[in-house]
């Protein structure tokens, strides 16, 4: 579709394809347009009837009638190329959704990973705090994480076992993620009797 400028009586005929640029006004010596004059015609394909865009001069939308207006050009392009534009838009939307869901999944996993690291880093101190012997820091200890679950939107609970040379301990470690980074609560450590 294209827009054609319709000059009022007494105005010189405009060049073919000319549209008033934004902010243009007719010279004062030109006569006023008749009341209700149609300044712009929208030309439509021959299989449809010609429709008129009735716009008062003072209310002409330069974004619509200006030759270089980007929005009408984009709309016209999409109408002409809808067989390509619609699938491209759908594929782009699906890809954006996959990336967004992947980001959420990775951020959740990274919070869980940080929670596990925070808990296992403090287990040596928690076992030593029990007063049952020296900490096994750096000498033959192993940590097995049994479960990492989200107990509340901002609370992750890590459970597992902590083995030293002397004893096996069961631990429960609450981690708050409300501040954006993990904050470990009081770790519950108890010896496992077998």
130-165 per-position pLDDT tens digit: 655 544 454 557 888 888 888 888 888 888 888 877
35-46 per-position pLDDT tens digit: 888 888 776 655
160-180 per-position pLDDT tens digit: 888 877 788 888 888 887 776
Q: Where in the chain are all domains bearing CATH 3.10.450?
A: 103-191
**Sign of the C-alpha dihedral, residues 72, 73, 74, 77?**
positive
How, if at all, do strands 40-43 and 2-5 pair? antiparallel
Fold of 103-191: Nuclear Transport Factor 2; Chain: A, (3.10.450)
């Amino acid at each position: 579709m294209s827009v054609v400028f319709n000059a009022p009586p007494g105005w010189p005929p405009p060049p073919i394809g000319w549209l008033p640029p934004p902010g243009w006004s007719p010279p004062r010596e030109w006569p006023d347009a008749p009341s209700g004059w149609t300044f712009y015609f929208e030309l439509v394909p021959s299989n449809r009837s010609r429709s008129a865009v009735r716009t008062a001069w003072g209310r002409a939308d330069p974004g619509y009638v200006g030759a270089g207006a980007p929005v009408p050009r984009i709309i016209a392009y999409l109408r002409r190329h809808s067989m390509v534009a619609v699938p491209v838009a759908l594929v782009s939307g699906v890809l954006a959704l996959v990336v967004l869901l992947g980001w959420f999944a990775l951020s959740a996993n990274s919070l869980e990973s940080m929670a596990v690291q925070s808990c296992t880093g403090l287990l040596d101190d928690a076992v030593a705090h029990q007063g049952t012997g020296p900490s096994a820091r750096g000498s033959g200890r192993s940590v097995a994480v049994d479960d990492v679950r989200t107990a509340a939107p901002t609370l992750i609970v890590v459970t597992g076992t902590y083995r030293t040379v002397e004893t096996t301990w069961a631990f429960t470690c609450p981690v708050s993620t409300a501040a954006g980074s993990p904050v470990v609560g009081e770790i519950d450590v108890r010896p496992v009797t077998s």
